[in-house]
Chains A and B, each alone.
Chain A
């Protein structure tokens, strides 16, 4: 199975900050990497698909980059509604796997 390692596991940041979360795969997964946001008690919500494509309806302050084994999710200017847990997920091979999550908290 392909392992995904996110860093950091938790992060404190202030409104307006630029935030970067990284996801490293245990082997090359081309661009088959997606990012989700999950708020407490809610289902995950797709933010970025295929490494760098913004899902419809997602604010443009979210962006993704990377290919191969190293990927990043960037929030250009943190907003109050962005405090949540973020997960990366690979669809390169079955089984689908997720990173362990990055909890973004208010500083």
Chain B
């Protein structure tokens, strides 16, 4: 079945970087964009950016421009999200999600990873 499996929880100090992985299985990895969404504990969902695994093209939310980088390794069907210059406010669960194109009806996140908790603390 279609599945996204993320790497484990991380604890980082302020100013450091974190790189979270998202391994896809059950479908052709290069066919669907991968997006990243984060959720601060007890709060809502915040979109961070997207990547086309086929071309490597990316796009980022303005809030994270300059701090976030999304990459991929197509040989192992894995996407990565790296966030730099971490601060305490970046403590959150980070999700990858497969982006399904609806051919004119919009798009939607039809499959999500299980989430990765990133804790930023001195």
Interface size range of chain A in the complex:
20 to 34
Q: Shortest distance in angstroms between A48's beta carbon and chain B's nearest beta carbon?
A: 9
Q: Which of B44, B95, B102, B110 counts the most chain A CB atoms within 10 A?
A: B44
Which residue from chain B places its CB closest to the CB of A33 in the assembled complex?
Answer: B106
Judged by DSSP, the binding face of A is loop
- With contacts A43-B95, A43-B115, A50-B102 taken as known, whether A91 is within 8 angstroms of B46 at the C-beta atoms is no
Q: Which residues of A contact B45 (CB under 8 A)?
A: 44, 87, 89, 98, 101
Indicate which residue in A30, A55, A96 contacts B110 across the interface (CB closer than 8 Å).
Answer: A55
Report how far A91 CA is from B110 CA in the complex, Å.
Answer: 13
Asked whether B106 lies within 8 Å of A46 as measured between CB atoms, the reply is no
Asked whether B109 lies within 8 Å of A32 as measured between CB atoms, the reply is no
> How many residues does chain B have at the interface if contact means C-beta atoms less than 8 Å apart?
21
Q: Which residues of A contact B32 (CB under 8 A)?
A: none
> Does B84 belong to the interface (CB within 8 Å)?
no
Report how far A101 CA is from B100 CA in the complex, Å.
Answer: 22
Interface set, chain B 65-122, CB cutoff 8 A to A: 95, 100, 102, 105-110, 112-115
Report how far A47 CA is from B110 CA in the complex, Å.
Answer: 9
> Does B62 belong to the interface (CB within 8 Å)?
yes
Report how far A36 CA is from B45 CA in the complex, Å.
Answer: 11
Asked whether B108 lies within 8 Å of A87 as measured between CB atoms, the reply is no
> Does B11 belong to the interface (CB within 8 Å)?
no
Q: Which 7 A-B pairs have the closest CB atoms?
A: A32-B106, A43-B112, A50-B105, A49-B108, A96-B47, A98-B45, A91-B107
Further contacts, 15 of them, CB under 8 A, given A50-B102, A91-B102: A32-B105, A33-B106, A34-B106, A43-B112, A43-B113, A49-B102, A50-B105, A50-B106, A55-B110, A87-B45, A89-B45, A91-B106, A92-B106, A94-B59, A96-B35
